[in-house]
Amino acid sequence: MKPIMMTVDLTTGTSQITPVDELFDTYLGGTGAATKLLTDEIALNKDPYAPPSPVFFAIGPFNGLYPLCTKTVALFISPLTGNLGESHAGGNLAMALFQAGIHILKITGRSAFPCYVRIVNHEVSIHRAYSLKGMSALASERVLRERIGNTWKSSIMRVGPAGERESPIACVTVDTSRHFGRLGLGGVFGNKNLKAVIVSGNGGIELGSNKGRYLKFYKNLYDQFVHSPALSKYHDLGTSMNILPLSRINGLPTRNFSQGFFEGAASISGERFADQLLIQKIACAHCPVGCIHMAILRESFDEKNHQYKANKIAYDYELIYALGSNLSINSPEDVLRLLLLIEKQGWDAISMGVTLAWSTEAFMKGVITTRETGGLVFKFGDADTYERILRRVIEGDMEFYRDVEKGTAFLAEKYGGESFAITFGRNEAPGYMTGLHGFLGFSTGVRHSHLDSAGYSLDQKKSEIEKPAREWTEDLFREGRWRTVLNSLVICLFARNVFTMPTILEGLAALGMTTWDEEKLQELARKIHVMKYELKNTLGFSFDRERLPEKLTSVFTATGLLDEAEYRQQMRIFEDLLAKDARALT
Ligand code: SF4
């Protein structure tokens, strides 16, 4: 199957197919191919909310064919940061794109009316979506599935009301509880008047003479996933198993990163969620692990007559941090109650949690008062008030509440309180307070995410391995660079230790892609990594301007107090390593 790009132009209502085999020969696919495409486009436009601003959804050569190669990468200009927007989501989407024979889906333009796009194989239709306007991200999926009369094989991406309001912290929800969560893709959908995209197909590939090799490799891979203890932990408690150990080492952000130990950690631990609220574990299409943990939350809609609605909500570590410890909430039901509202609206839960935490500290410090909050008194641990805040944001009845859904950096710039705004490159911080290399990873990462280079995991190794900070920075750099290859194959990063260099080469060869070798893959990693920073620089990023939130220089992390001079020095080392790679490429 030759890779193709499907372009849907919402302004003209047209679509077009372009072969992208040369692009895939050079960049493998996924993030590599999409970064090249976005780089070419930003020469023409840098405004995330200009109609021609494109969104690229890309898969790679392994998607649809190997287990845990389940992700789709979205690239766009982020309305939250004004810089590179990159987000990855699972669910059925990668499989649906593969079956539709589409390797890159490009969406551009702005529809004159609220719309949703339906793609079946290579057929594209654009439909009016007036009746879906204002509908929650959860309900829109149900309605659209009924409307298309099908089947869980179709993948449905959609936004909730937050995306329609063009909130830069709005996400795009994919199928059951998967998200293009970070960096505001939902706001871009809203700006394009795009409520949803549905993808399905019934194609596949002919393996021909590679079939025997493919099946042998597949079985080997599958066995590793099913029997590996490294992956069984994701099925057992899931990532929420990290709550207790991180709190124990002082690495769990609590009350807007005031400390790394949460006294209520046991009450919102993965163990507690599993014992009391877990009802189901589900998986992305083509994954035998199944790490998606669904909890049940009972919602009363008629107390007098004991009428309840049962809601199923996915939870994981990041969500529990953002709406639990970081807001000092120690009841799993309260965490789920806030999460349900956030899921319905379609906000990124990490961004909204950090923004609520900043708002609370801003209130406690007098940066905002009851004048801005309309009488509400913000307090850490007060779930009822947080719910009221979210409802007022939805109503948009006061300036401050309309501003809340613009994110932490926006609020801090407008009202003051930048010293305790916990953002990196304007993106709200993920849930790790492990120390220097965790924070350095957020600062230097191409999307300012813990998933870029996993510096938090390096910090946790420091208690066992002693070496100079420079060497940890080199590890961080190499990890971020290598992940560009994993993200061009668009694998689930939980499988990163299985998809080693030899395994990837074997997997490519089993698909007849025998021209790749170790040297070429390393060279590709370097090339994509450098290209991403060049793209970021064009959009205004610079290592010099990147700032550590001031508050983080005075709090104890899992590896002690942070030295800002050391942070700056390691930043320069990272920048030098990148410059060296760039020179090697020329
Ligand atoms: S391990 Fe989890 S996130 Fe990864 S592919 Fe499987 S279900 Fe999806």
Pick from 95, 155, 235, 289 the residue to mutate for probing ligand 1's pocket: most ligand atoms within 8 Å of its CB. Answer: 289
The tokens 């410059």 sit on which residue?
A: 579
Stretch (H or E) spanning 298: strand 292-302
Q: Give the pLDDT confidence score for residue 516 in this predicted structure.
A: 97
Q: Using CA positions, which residue lies closest to atom 5 of ligand 1? A: 68
What is the share, in percent, of the chain residues with pLDDT greater than 90?
Answer: 94
CA 398 to chain centre: 29
pLDDT in tens, 260-281: 999 999 999 999 999 999 999 9
The domain locations on the chain are 4-200, 237-424, 434-585
Mean pLDDT of the chain, nearest integer: 96
C-alpha 381/C-alpha 426 separation (Å) is 25
Q: Give the pLDDT confidence score for residue 558 in this predicted structure.
A: 97
Kindly report the number of other CB atoms within 10 A of residue 288's CB atom.
13
Can you name the CATH fold of 434-585? 1.10.599
Angle at 135 between CA 130 and CA 138, to 5 degrees: 135
CA of 390 to the centre of ligand 1 (A): 30
Total residue length of the chain: 586
What angle, 0 to 180 degrees and rounded to 10, lies between the N-to-C axes of helices 564-585 and 469-489?
A: 50
Q: Give the pLDDT confidence score for residue 14 in this predicted structure.
A: 98
Closest CA to 533 of 447, 423, 426, 424: 447
Q: Give the pLDDT confidence score for residue 43 in this predicted structure.
A: 82
Return the structure tokens found at 464.
């066992």
- Give SS3 for 207: coil
Return the structure tokens found at 505.
């080469």
Query: In whole angstroms, how far apart are CA 77 and each of 252, 291, 535?
Result: 30, 30, 10
Return the structure tokens found at 118.
């339906």
Stretch (H or E) spanning 75: strand 72-77
What is the share, in percent, of the chain residues with pLDDT greater than 70?
Answer: 99
Would you place residue 227 in the very low, low, confident or very high pLDDT band (cuts 50, 70, 90)? confident
pTM of this structure? 0.97
CA of 231 to the centre of ligand 1 (A): 10
pLDDT in tens, 355-373: 999 999 999 999 999 999 9
CA of 292 to the centre of ligand 1 (A): 7
Whether domain 237-424 has CATH 3.40.930.10: the reply is no
Beta 560-561 vs 556-557: how paired, if at all?
Answer: antiparallel
Rounded to 5 degrees, what are φ and ψ at 224? Answer: -65, -40
pLDDT in tens, 510-537: 999 999 999 999 999 999 999 999 999 9
* Ligand 1 and 383: CB distance under 6 A: no
CA of 102 to the centre of ligand 1 (A): 22
End-to-end CA distance of the chain: 33
What is the assigned CATH class of domain 4-200? alpha beta
Residue 199, strand partner residues: 119, 155
C-alpha 118/C-alpha 8 separation (Å) is 10
CA of 109 to the centre of ligand 1 (A): 32
Would you place residue 341 in the very low, low, confident or very high pLDDT band (cuts 50, 70, 90)? very high
Atom of ligand 1 nearest to the CA of 287: 6
Contact residues for 459 (Cβ-Cβ < 8 A; gap 6+): 251, 432, 434, 435, 436, 437, 438, 557, 558, 559
C-alpha 444/C-alpha 449 separation (Å) is 9
Q: Using CA positions, which residue lies closest to atom 4 of ligand 1? A: 492
Q: Give the pLDDT confidence score for residue 171 in this predicted structure.
A: 98
Pick from 234, 280, 490 the residue to mutate for probing ligand 1's pocket: most ligand atoms within 8 Å of its CB. Answer: 234
Using CB atoms within 10 Å of the CB of residue 369, give its burial: 0 to 12 exposed, 13 to 18 middle, 19+ buried. Answer: exposed
CA of 289 to the centre of ligand 1 (A): 6
* Ligand 1 and 381: CB distance under 6 A: no
C-alpha 155/C-alpha 200 separation (Å) is 6
Pick from 93, 494, 497, 499 the residue to mutate for probing ligand 1's pocket: most ligand atoms within 8 Å of its CB. Answer: 494
Using CB atoms within 10 Å of the CB of residue 347, give its burial: 0 to 12 exposed, 13 to 18 middle, 19+ buried. Answer: buried
Highest mean pLDDT out of 40-44, 174-178, 220-224, 365-369:
365-369
C-alpha 41/C-alpha 419 separation (Å) is 35
* Ligand 1 and 89: CB distance under 6 A: no
* Ligand 1 and 290: CB distance under 6 A: yes
Closest CA to 311 of 343, 285, 282, 283: 343
Residue 150 clears pLDDT 70, i.e. is over it: no
* Ligand 1 and 177: CB distance under 6 A: no
* Ligand 1 and 59: CB distance under 6 A: no
CA of 11 to the centre of ligand 1 (A): 35
* Ligand 1 and 90: CB distance under 6 A: yes
Would you place residue 397 in the very low, low, confident or very high pLDDT band (cuts 50, 70, 90)? confident
Q: Per-residue pLDDT averaged across 221-247, rounded?
A: 92
CA of 449 to the centre of ligand 1 (A): 18
The torsion of the CA quartet 169, 175, 176, 181, rounded to 10 degrees, works out to: -20
Q: Per-residue pLDDT averaged across 220-225, rounded?
A: 94
